[in-house]
Amino acid sequence: MNALEQLTTVFGGRYQIERELGVGGMATVYLARDRKHDRPVAIKVLRHDLSHSLGPERFLREIRIVASLQHPHILGLIDSGEADGYLYYVMPYITGESLRTRLARDGELPVGEAVWILREIADAIAFAHAHQIIHRDIKPENVLFSARHALVADFGIARAVTEAATAGPITATGIVVGSPAYMAPEQASSDPHMDHRADIYAFGVLAYEVLTGVPPFTAPTAVQLVAAHMSRAPDPLMRHRPGIPEALNDIVLKCLAKRPADRFQRAEEIVERLDAILTGPLSESMGTTEEHAVAPAKFRIAEGLARRLDRQVFDPRMIGDSLEYLDNHARSDTLVCFLPALGLDAAEFEEHLRTFPWRCVAVTPFSHEPQRNRRYALPLNDHFTLIRHFLRHVEERSGARRVVLAGFSSGADIALRFAAARPGGGARLDGVLALGCNVSKETCFVTSILARMSTRHPERLLADLRAVGDSTADLEAWLTLHTYLVSMLRKFRGTIDPLRQVAREIVAPFEGATVSPFIAWHREAAANVRALRCVFEDSETYRSFVAGLPPEPGTAAGAGERRATAALVIEPGAGHFDLARPDVVLRHLEALITGLPVAAPAAVS
């Protein structure tokens, strides 16, 4: 009989142990199936020596108190007990990742999402403290995500061990309750007067890491780390992440005060301060994690607008037709309009619209229409005219005081060139986020194929597609690129003229150019909007291009001011399609919008 079968037998068959999930300093966690209710559960089984030192009566008495905690952001207890010398407790099995996993993968979180998560954690701590329960081990490993919400786990074991320790010695087990990286000075020094404010300190350490991607202190040994917590002052968060709201910096540093009397005295105070940030003026630049209902909408092409389009190529069917878009109808002073890559439509941004905090719309250009009878071959200037009038229409309906245009891939080219062209017409445009725009003929590789794509020469198209496959560096990139191409080719088979028209105009300026036209577009767009951010994939081509750009001309003050609002960013480790991921887009929109005050008027004219 193996160890898992033995444990199943120990539990009397009520829980079928399936596999080990992890081992900690005090317990081992197992995934099991609750046979009575046919549901997965997580069972924490205390170390045998710890179980022996605690004894079942003390353990179960303390765990019963923790089981009374019922809160939406506390991972509750289902069951607990003693079986054949093993002490255990049972929790719901959460399939979502831990905060530690998220931080290890992504580093610092978007500010708006971070504040929302921290608010949920602080609310859980406040509820526990109101019931005289101290966690004693707040850290990212003990925060789990379920349906995008935070759950604080492990209130039980720390209390049981600590309370039992006060009733009798358990030092022989070698157990230390708490983690050195998150311990308050009084906890690390075993101060007998330590109270709930140690949790507030640990929350501050966690918040620091969530917002900056790094802990406030690091050291090669646990002893040195504890010494740093007891004697060193943490750096302001802005040193690691410029743009962090000062109010948020103040909250975190107050939590990290060395003396408990200098911290927040109640976790409710933290919740109140975070609520003020989430609902106050800063909420516009940070956002929340509230989801929005995304609905289709239409912008009608009236005769007056149709008369502004190029008559030589105008299709009279457009009069009375509508430009289709998606709208999240969020209440916000900021409007973000998304432009998709060639061949894609507004649906590519549906998740962005659902989860982003601002009023967001995503347009399906006529050349990208899923319905073949509604695809019109338009020159780029006509697309600019439609975008200009569409932006004015949505701005008026939303009451937005800041308007940002965001595009991905060829949509980024269009957004940048739209801003550079000074299209006028009263359209407000405060900022542009260009994700993965082209900078050379080499980066136009796929767009070039679309520009010459023809159903009359399938053998040439097939050769081009094979060349695209050969250009990818790994399997993931190959799959992503081919998913895009297959989706587009299936949609446009037989009606590719509208798409080809736009692709040709995107590629044409790069053909034969000795100096990248991107440089002029970037300079002109930066002069026309108050914030411009161009984000590129992490490839040698883009790294070399950005490194080789000459400094912008102008006076010292003016040039510095412009450079501060016209960022060129390489997204670390990102491939081209990674730039359209919602978490990446959210982070760069936050960086751009934070620098856009709502009061100053701005319009492209």
**pLDDT one-digit tens code per residue, 160-173:** 666 555 554 433 34
- For residue 13, what pLDDT is reported? 76
> From residue 94, how far is each of 34, 77, 148, 149, 569 by CA, in Å?
14, 13, 12, 11, 36
Q: Is the pLDDT of residue 137 over 50?
A: yes
- For residue 600, what pLDDT is reported? 44
The residue that leads in pLDDT, 497 or 29, is 29
Summarize the confidence of residues 132-142 as an average pLDDT.
Answer: 92
CA atoms of 113 and 211, how far apart (whole Å): 10
- For residue 164, what pLDDT is reported? 54
Q: How much is the mean pLDDT over the chain?
A: 82
pLDDT bracket for residue 46 (50, 70, 90):
confident
Residues 6+ apart with CB under 8 A from 237: 208, 211, 212, 244, 248, 249, 252, 253
Sign of torsion over alpha carbons 248, 251, 257, 262: positive
pLDDT bracket for residue 290 (50, 70, 90):
low
Q: Is the pLDDT of residue 603 over 50?
A: no
Q: Is the pLDDT of residue 371 over 60?
A: no
pLDDT bracket for residue 467 (50, 70, 90):
low
Residues 6+ apart with CB under 8 A from 343: 368, 450, 484, 487, 488, 491, 492, 499
The domains found in the chain, sorted by start residue, are 3-285 (1.10.510.10), 290-594 (3.40.50.1820)
CA atoms of 438 and 410, how far apart (whole Å): 7
- For residue 493, what pLDDT is reported? 59
Say if strands 531-536 and 566-570 run parallel, antiparallel, or are unpaired: parallel
CA atoms of 150 and 361, how far apart (whole Å): 28
pLDDT bracket for residue 14 (50, 70, 90):
confident
- For residue 360, what pLDDT is reported? 95
Round to the nearest angstrom and report the end-to-end CA distance of the chain: 79
> What is the SS3 assignment for 155?
helix
User: What tens digit of pLDDT does each residue of 552-580 get?
Assistant: 544 333 333 333 357 899 999 888 888 99
- 121's tokens: 């954690």
Quote the strand ranges of 260-375, DSSP E: 295-300, 322-327, 334-339, 359-364
The residue that leads in pLDDT, 482 or 288, is 482
CA atoms of 526 and 532, how far apart (whole Å): 6
Q: Which residues are catalytic?
A: 137
CA atoms of 486 and 477, how far apart (whole Å): 14
User: What tens digit of pLDDT does each residue of 149-162 get?
Assistant: 899 998 756 666 66
User: What tens digit of pLDDT does each residue of 179-195 get?
Assistant: 899 999 999 988 889 99
Total residues belonging to the chain: 605
Bridge partners for 258 per DSSP: none
Instruction: Say if residue 307 is exposed, middle or buried (CB neighbours under 10 Å; 0-12, 13-18, 19+).
Output: exposed
- For residue 592, what pLDDT is reported? 92
CA atoms of 438 and 348, how far apart (whole Å): 20
- For residue 146, what pLDDT is reported? 83
- For residue 256, what pLDDT is reported? 97
The residue behind tokens 């895009």 is 484
- For residue 569, what pLDDT is reported? 93
Summarize the confidence of residues 437-444 as an average pLDDT.
Answer: 88
CA atoms of 474 and 542, how far apart (whole Å): 18
Q: Is the pLDDT of residue 70 over 80?
A: yes
Summarize the confidence of residues 82-98 as an average pLDDT.
Answer: 86
- For residue 96, what pLDDT is reported? 81
Sign of torsion over alpha carbons 307, 309, 313, 315: negative
The answer to whether 484 and 491 have CB atoms below 8 angstroms apart is no
User: What tens digit of pLDDT does each residue of 293-343 get?
Assistant: 888 888 888 888 878 887 776 777 778 788 889 998 888 889 999 999 887
Largest CA distance in the chain: 92
- For residue 556, what pLDDT is reported? 35
Question: Which segment, 165-174, 175-184, 481-490, 594-603, is predicted with the most confidence on average?
Answer: 175-184
Q: Is the pLDDT of residue 377 over 90?
A: no
Summarize the confidence of residues 530-538 as an average pLDDT.
Answer: 94
Per residue, what are the HEC states of 297-332? EEEECCHHHHCCCCCCCCCHHHCCCEEEEEECCCCC
Residues 6+ apart with CB under 8 A from 312: none
> From residue 89, how far is each of 22, 146, 220 by CA, in Å?
15, 20, 34
Side-chain half-sphere CA neighbours of 323 within 13 A = 25
Quote the strand ranges of 428-519, DSSP E: 431-435
The residue among 155, 157, 161 whose CA lies nearest residue 138 is: 155
- For residue 480, what pLDDT is reported? 59
Summarize the confidence of residues 435-448 as an average pLDDT.
Answer: 83
Question: Which segment, 173-182, 261-270, 576-585, 588-597, is predicted with the most confidence on average?
Answer: 261-270
